Every structure is written in structure tokens, then in C-alpha cells.
Amino acid sequence: MAALGSITAYPVSGAAARAVRLPMLLLTWLFAATAVAAPLAPAVQTEIDALLERLETSGCELNRNGTWYPASEAKPHLQRKLRYLEDRGMVQTAEQFIELAASGSSMSGQPYLVRCGTGAPVRSGTWLLSQLQSMRAAGQAKSAP
């Protein structure tokens, strides 16, 4: 028996522990199963599509986990990561897409880099945010809410 301030706690084990844990697990599963991910707002989807198109046609390269890939190969990879986040309701803005999907490896934690021509590599998040700002300033993409 352990005292927690003025509350006395009794260790729970065996059948009693299972009786408490099982309903909690079922409630957690039910909540997770009923959560519905909302699709991206059309303006946000347009911005992300435009960003990926800019990357794909930039002639730049993307470094992912130490290997350089043509930007055209980066687009499908980033689209898969976006779908994963969308399915879980984890992204609502272009900035969130950049931060959560396009800035680094979710497996290794290493940042993605973009290299254009003979220029120095820059973090992909920096490059994409710059492109997003440029698109918004030119009126090519609507600002996210």
C-alpha cells in the first residue's frame, strides 16, 4: 500500500487489473475508430499541389537519409506522407504539411535537404516555405485559413 498525499493507493493486479484495463482499451479503440479525418480544404490542397509541382519541375534534388534523388522522385514520396497524415487528421495547412511531412524523415529524424544546381543545399522546409511565400505573394495560391 502506498500513500499519495491524503489518498491511499492499493496496487491492482490479476483479474482486477484486467477488469480495469479492458474497458479502457475498448474505449480508446472505439474513440480512435470513430475519429473521422476531414479532407483538406480545397485552398490548402491547391497550395500543397502547387508546392509539389514546383519541387517536381525545379530541376533540384532532394536529399533523403543521405541519398540525393531527383525532385521528380520526391513528389510521390511526399504525396504518400501527406495521405498518411490526412488519414489521421494531422494536417490542415500547407505549413503543417511542410513541417510534418516534407521537412525530414519520420524514420531516421534526419532533415531533408534541397540542392538546386551548384547552390548549397538548404533544408527542404526552408525551401518549401520560401516557395509557398513566393506563390502567395504572386497570388498563385490562396493563403491558408
Place of cell 485552398: 43
Model pLDDT, residue 28: 46
- Three-state SS at 111: strand
Count the alpha carbons within 13 Å of 52 in the hemisphere toward its beta carbon.
20
Quick check: 10 pLDDT over 80? no
Whole-angstrom distance, CA of residue 118 vs CA of residue 1: 68
How much is the pTM?
Answer: 0.71
Residues 19-35: b if buried by 16+ CB within 10 A, e if exposed:
eeeeeeeeeeeeeeeee
The one-letter code for the residue type at 128 is: L
The overall average pLDDT reported for the chain is 82
pLDDT of residue 38: 76
Q: What is the pLDDT of residues 96-124, one digit of tens each?
A: 999 999 999 999 999 999 999 999 999 99
The per-residue pLDDT for 39 is: 86
Helix (H) or strand (E) holding 76: helix 71-87
Q: What residue spans of the chain are helical by DSSP H?
A: 14-34, 42-57, 71-87, 94-97, 124-137
The string of pLDDT tens digits covering residues 43-72 is: 999 999 999 999 999 999 999 999 999 999
